[in-house]
Amino acid sequence: MRALPSSEVGQVRFTSSERTAPGVTFRTFETSGTGGRVEGDLLDVDLRSPKVSVGLLRPPVVAARRTVSEMADAQQAVAGVNGDFFNISETHPGVPPTGSSSGPTVDGGRPLKGAVPDGQRFGPGLPPGTSTEDVIGVGRDRRGHVARLRLTGTVRSGKKSIALRGLNQYALHVGGVGAFDSRWGEVSRQRAVCGTDEVRSAPCSTNTAEVTVRRGVVTGVSDTVGAGAIPSGTTVLVGREKGADALRRLRPGDRVRVSYRFTGPVRFRFAVGGFPILRDGEPLDGLSPNGPAPRTAAGVSRDGRHLYLVVADGRSERSGGLTVAELASLLDKVGADDAVNLDGGGSSTFVARAPGAASVTVRNSPSDGTQRAVANGIGVFTPDAAG
């Protein structure tokens, strides 16, 4: 196929179509871009169907990674793709990578984690006007949405009130305070006080504090950020700079109330982080021209009734991959009105369960030759499969 300018893919030709579940259609496609021929997979989910739902695929805890197949089978999904970019490597001496994702996540209508500062994220550069707080998901209205979720919260003790700006995330804003609970996992929380809002590799803060709150009562105050599993009913508050100074004013025995929520235009039942590449059917300005590479994306139709999950293979003789700008063009051509870019490269994975099968199979060709363990994903579920 003829290579085209980096902003647009060629004609999209569907090469197969399979109804994998009520309201769920799996298709393979061919197109072309600057890297030549491209092969990919598309899942069209009709959110109007009462027999299908979409939700978060995730490991048992936030600070962990699993393959998309492992997560899909553990949660009995019929299909899924990988999700957000994540903390896969670490340059701070002695600080372990957490494996956790960059953006916000909502699971079962509840906030699971917040977004790291923009300068602390992984992945291609953000287009102007976008943020790590951007997500794609399904709202309580059963429609797909691309929107922004900002975590707001407080730590209250008597007349003291401390702003809470983080939840189960691998990096906190400079001067901020974040909460960690049993959903975080056993990995050290030290990474949360490293880097700055603009520079991920900046040194770790030397002014830190950690406060343990058990059933609403402070049980410990320390200058050291710790590690290990957090028991149910316990919240660990971590602060840096001004946030650390504020936490040190708390004392063991103080009664504390920790509260938080996401603010934004949509009440999500499920959401995962991803940066917008298509809005109102138009690619955003400033999309990275780098690549081509394997890509994963998710989009929604204009009426929000259809969710599209896409993986374009790359780095092989059969499929050259896409630039982010070409990915936006592809999502537009397959029916999306709004879309986000998810983690790509070796993370790009598409799985689906054949009718009657006990487990999912990988439908694309991961560029590493095998699945990569990732932070989260988007799963498609049906009542029959869960039974």
Stretch 23-42: mean pLDDT: 96
pLDDT score for 4: 43
Q: How far apart are CA 179 and CA 45, in angstroms?
A: 35
- Look up residue 238 and give its two tokens: 């971590």
Q: Quick one: pLDDT at residue 290?
A: 85
Q: What percentage of the chain reaches a pLDDT higher than 90?
A: 93
pLDDT band at 6 (very low <50, low <70, confident <90, very high): low
- What pLDDT, in 10s, does the model give residues 236-275? 999 999 999 999 999 999 999 999 999 999 999 999 999 9
Which phi and psi (to 5°) does residue 373 adopt? -70, 130
User: Which pLDDT belongs to residue 58?
Assistant: 98
pLDDT of residue 387: 45
pLDDT bracket for residue 146 (50, 70, 90): very high
Label residue 279 by pLDDT band (50, 70, 90).
Answer: very high
Band of residue 289 on the pLDDT scale cut at 50, 70, 90: confident
Q: Are 250 and 256 in contact (CB under 8 A)?
A: yes
Mean pLDDT of the chain: 95
- For residue 2, pLDDT over 50 is answered with no
Q: What is the pLDDT of residues 54-87, one digit of tens each?
A: 999 999 999 999 999 999 999 999 999 999 999 9
Per CATH, domain 150-263 is 2.60.120: yes
CA–CA gap between residue 122 and residue 200 (Å, rounded): 9
So what's the pLDDT on residue 385? 59
pLDDT category, 355, cuts 50, 70, 90? confident
What mean pLDDT do residues 200-223 have? 98
Any residues with CB less than 8 A from the CB of 74 and at least 6 apart, and which? 66
Q: Residue 3: what pLDDT?
A: 40
pLDDT per residue over 92-115, tens digit each? Answer: 999 999 999 999 999 999 999 999
CA distance 380 to 72: 9
Mean pLDDT, rounded, for 16-45: 95
In the chain, which residues fall in CATH 2.60.120?
Answer: 150-263
pLDDT of residue 21: 86
